[in-house]
Each structure stands twice: as structure tokens, then as C-alpha cells.
Chains A and B, each alone.
Chain A
Amino acid sequence: MEKSLELINQKIRDGNATVVTADRMPTLVDEIGEDRALNEVDVVTTGTFGAMCSSGAFLNFGHADPPIRMERVWLNEVEAYGGIAAVDTYIGATQQSTTLGEQYGGAHVMEDLVSGNMIELHGTSRGTDCYPRRTITTELVIDDLNQAIMVNPRNAYQRYNAATNSTDRTLYTYMGTLLPSYGNITFSGAGALSPLSNDPGFRTIGSGVPIFLCGSTGMIIGEGTQHSPAGGFGTLMVTGDMKEMHPEFLRAATMHQYGVTLYVGVGVAIPILDKELVRSTAIRDEDIVVDILDYGVPSRNRPSLRKITYAELKSGKVELNSEEVRISSLSSNRKAHDVACTLQDWIKKGKFQLALPTKRISTTKISRPMRETARVPRVRDIMNTNVVSISEDESIKTAARKLLRGDTNHLPVLDREGTVVGIVTTYDVSKAVVKEEKNQKVKDVMTIKVIKTVPDEHVDVAAQKLERYNISALPVVDERNHMVGMLTAIDLGKLFGKRWQK
């Protein structure tokens, strides 16, 4: 048996459609079976509420008098794109305030607009014959705008990999605060309640389909940027009228030391047309598997530590390297549920009609990495291989002599096998000399906790280490921790210019 969309929409108009939220579907199908579920359920509503950085809005302010063709635009001191006609702009969610930094950004401007708060528009122009005005500053609320149309290039990710941190320092990422030494795990996404999890074949999710977007009736434009459904990471590009949105379902946020982002509520209603859709909407958190990635590795290809399901993620803890690690979510499960319930309510009340895609979204695409035409320099390309080193038991005097003769400020300390066991600097040696203690050896003054790099590391990453630890040289070691060279701020300076010469 199959059902037509017309029939479902008729039932919605008549106020007798059966609508269930996606999290109810698995138990329902268990209880009554697929056939009866197809017969009885007309619509399954889904929802997600999480950080979606790739969001923004087109705004039109109407013409000023005398008119201006704004080339640069700021809203509450957050710069918006000025390359589209006279009084149009696109405000991106992650753009930060010129004065408040990560405490206020494009996402906050959007939340302020939707909340009915006043915002300040400032624009500049070089002035033309038809648009003579050069600056404008005015205060506006959303009702003063002709249009405030949200267009989010990449929303509603099907799923997200979870994050943890192997390093010995806290990382602040777009996946939140990651404590040192696998101190916690974070994840995002609503799992089985997520729109794309419920129709991975994109049969009912496609261009032109009406959706719940931040409290308004929005629409799917088509596939989102970086759409990668072949690997289970589909995305959607969506749009909606901000004048109809509600701050309950759109919240600006700041990920500490990462930046501004926007929490967006998205929900899709899936018509239950056939058994395949009964099955796909009966997905459980247990069925959705992702990787736990190590964000301590600063590379696009972060290693996976293990697989994990959304059911485990939502349980709050998991075993990793035979230790229990606590997990927390970044997106809101409660709000995701609110989205699905609100959409359910709209449909039950006949306020929301369904439509099938006017254009299907690809189910086979794989998002490609960036093609880079310039080779990114690695540590091996600029490191110094002619390194003067010292051993632990040598005297301070020998160290001083070597430092002078080697014309360097750092001596890596090696054991007999050539393993790096410490580092001594000109400063350590001078301090030892001032102390005047007898028979001081290198091992008494050296730093044991050595920050190191490897030949394959990207130069940018090594440079970050120097900056973070406020040091000026890094021993370069191979996989066995044997010394193969030194990288100094001076080497980096040659590459990057003065910035690295400490």
C-alpha cells in the first residue's frame, strides 16, 4: 500500500492527520508493525537545535535621502557584506564585532533583529552621480526593513563526529571546551530526531519543501554547502523570513576562544508515503554511528579513536582507553524536541501543509577537500640539521662554551641513543653561573618538559607552539624521539617575516 501526498494534505486540512515526532516512531513501529504504521501515521516530524555557523541573512533597508550606495556596511559594529547593490547586505553569523570581538557578532545582530531590538546601521560609500551620499548612520528595528531573509548555506548536518583531546592542555574549539588527556567528549546533533537521519534517501527532503526554521515556516533551497551524503554527512541550504521567526528558536552564542556562532532550530515534516519511509523514520540513536576524533591533532584528517553511537553519546559517558569519560552535548536535545513538537502541533492544527521536492537532492555526492596549488611548508623544509647538542652529565662551563661557539641560544640535551631528554638555554646557563654552586651539571639546570615538533608538522602549527609557550626554539624529533634538527624563531622569521623573530 502507498499513500499519496494529496491524501495526507487533505487529512491535515480536515484536522485529522496523525502526526508523531520522530523519537516516538521506533517504539510505535515495534508495537504495531510496519503495515499498520503506514496505515495509521501520516506525518513524522523531526527537529534539531544546534550551532550552525554557516548561517546569515539578506537585509534590505530601503533608500535613504539623498540616496547612498553602501560599499561597506556595519550593523552594531559588525561588518556585513557590502558588495550587493545600494542598500542590500548579507550579514554572516560568525562575523565578529570590531569593538567587542567574540562577545558580539553577526549571530547576535540576527537575534537582536528577531527579538525586535534596535540596531545601528552604519554605511560608507565613495559617492556617485546617482548616489551622492557618502555616509549614513541610523537606528532600525526589523519592521523598518523591507526584507530580512535568512539564507543559511549549510544547516541541519545529518550527523557530527564527536570530539576529544589527547594533548595536555585544554583546547577551545567549535566543538566546545575539550579538557586535556581525554578529559571529556563533546558532540552535536539530535541523532535519530535529526531531519536528515529520517530520510537519508532524500525522497521527501529536497528543494521547495516547507520546513520549520527558527519558529517560521521556511523552505529548503537545496543541498547545503559541503553536502556529503555518501558518507552520511548530508547538509541543507535553507531560507526563511526573519520577520516571522521567534528568538526561542534562534540564539546567538560564543564558543570561548573560537568565536561567534548561531544556534538554529530546524525541523522537517516527513510524509509517510510508503513502507520505506516508515522504516527510515523508525531509526534509533543506536543505529547512528560516528567517530570520536582527536582534536589534539591539528590536521584535516584527525584520527578516529573509536566508533560511537548517538545512544552512547546521549548516555553521558563512555569508555575510552579503558577509562570512563564524560560526554556532553553542544546542541540542545530539549530544544530539538521542542522543534519537532511545535511542527507536530502546527500540522495537527492544519497550519502547515506538506510538499514534495521540486528538485531532488543528490544522495551520492562526496565533499572534496580544498585543492591547494602552493605546497604548504613543513618543519623539515626549514629546520636546522646542523645542531650542537650536549649530554646531561656535562658541566655548565661546557654548555656555556658550546652556546658561544655554536652561536645559538638553545642546546638540546641528548642521551647516548640521541633521544632528547631536555633543553638548556643561555638563560639557564647564566642563572647557574650567577648562583655559583659548585659542580653544577647540565642535568641540574635543564628543562625536562621539552616542547617538540616533528619533520612532517606544518610550519603554522609549529609557529603556534612557539607563540603559545612563549619559547624560541623547538627540537625536531623522529618517531623514536631521536633528535633530527632544530627549528628556531629565526628560521620561521625568514619564512614569515619579522613577526617570528623573538
Chain B
Amino acid sequence: MTELERRLRALRDQRRAFVPYLMGGMSPRWLDHLEALVAAGADALEVGLPFSDPMMDGPVIQEAALRALAAGTTIETVATGIAERHLPVPVVVMTYYNVVHHLGLERAASLLSEAGALGTILPDVPLEEIGPWKDASAGPGLATVLLIAPSTPPARVARVAGASEGFVYAAARMAVTGHAEGTGDAQRVVRAIRAVTDTPTYVGIGISTPAHAAATAEWCDGVIVGSALVERVLESDDPAALEHAARPFRAALD
């Protein structure tokens, strides 16, 4: 079992996990923002590595990626940043395959692991293509998190969930990241995952309000909140403002 999964299983016995997402390098104070999220009660952090062509992201995270790239953000700068801060909660890096492929899978996996990351999410790499990255991640002990979508047929849910490490990422809806109404297909997707695995299952994609988070948390082990918080950082560079926006999500889950 990966270190990430051990940590998240232990957490499950205490509370529903709050996992905010932030794009690495999107503002000069992005590391302060990550600390603000920890102060607001984040149980783990999902940190984006920007890619020029983020096909699973809507306008808010696209804008964050553009800003991060314009500021010269690379896998190295993000790795250095998170290594320096010694964040007290697990960090999971989300990026697209080309970023790690270009550096070399083994080099990228050790770089992220040495920086302290415990897992990765590559949303453009499905089960059939994840082998090489999983192999490269196994040595340094990085968990490879896989997604299940509302469109994933039952037989496939078993295979993907079985292969996911750390946690299973349940997509709440057929959509890219961004704002949405309600809890979408979350309940159905989580139920399908729960039927085949007891790996912690977190819901993300379009969880926009504390009320969505609370409703979703009824069925799963944690929620991932991206665009709703990233948008705050696009609006204001003040970490206190982000902490203020994140606290209600924490409260909704407790």
C-alpha cells in the first residue's frame, strides 16, 4: 500500500477529507496560499503543474495555468516550492502527461517524490496507458490516482478502481473542471466504486459551494474543490481571503 493510501485511510476514521486544488505558480504567493488552505483545514492538497493545453480544465483553471506559465512555472519550480515549505498534509500533484513525459518519466517521478509529493493525477492518461507512469512511480513510492467518470461502465469501474492508488477520484459529472450546480452524478459514481473497492473515494469536478460539498460528503470519503477556490486567488492575492473562502468548505464537511 502506498504511503498516500495509508495516510488517507487513517484520516477516514476521523473525518471527511477536504482536498483543495491550487495551481502551482499561479500567483507569486502560491506557497502562502497553500499554507492558507492548510490553516483553513485542508487534509491534503492537490497542486497543479501547468500545461499549455489542459483538456480536462474549464476557463478558471485554464486562466490559472496561463498565469503560472507566464510566470515561468515549471515542474522544477513547483517541486522546489513544495519541498521548501514542508507542508504538513499530503500533496498530490495534478498535471498532464506531456509535462512528465518530456522530462522523462523516471526523472519526473523522483523529482516529485523527493519534493515530498505522495501522489499524482494525470487526467489525460486512462488505465490502458498508465502502465509506464505507474512503473516509474513505484520506485519512489508515488501513488498514481485514477479517475472514474459517470460514463465508466461497471466492469471497467472495477478495473480502474482496482488499479487506483492512494484514493479513487470520482468525477461528479460529465464535464471538465469548473462551476456547476448540485452534486451531479456523484452518488451513482461513488456507489459503483464502493461496490468494488474500499480504497478511499473522493469526489471532484464542479463542487462549487460548501452546500455541494456537504451533500456530496454524505456518500464519499472526501471532496476535491478546485475552481471555486482557484477563482478566489485569481481575484485576490491575499492568502487571508483564500483562507476565508476555504473555511466554510471545512465546516460543511465536519
Interaction A to B: no
Taking Cβ atoms with an 8 Å cutoff, the residues of B that contact A are none
Listed in ascending order, the chain A residues whose CB lies under 8 Å from chain B are none
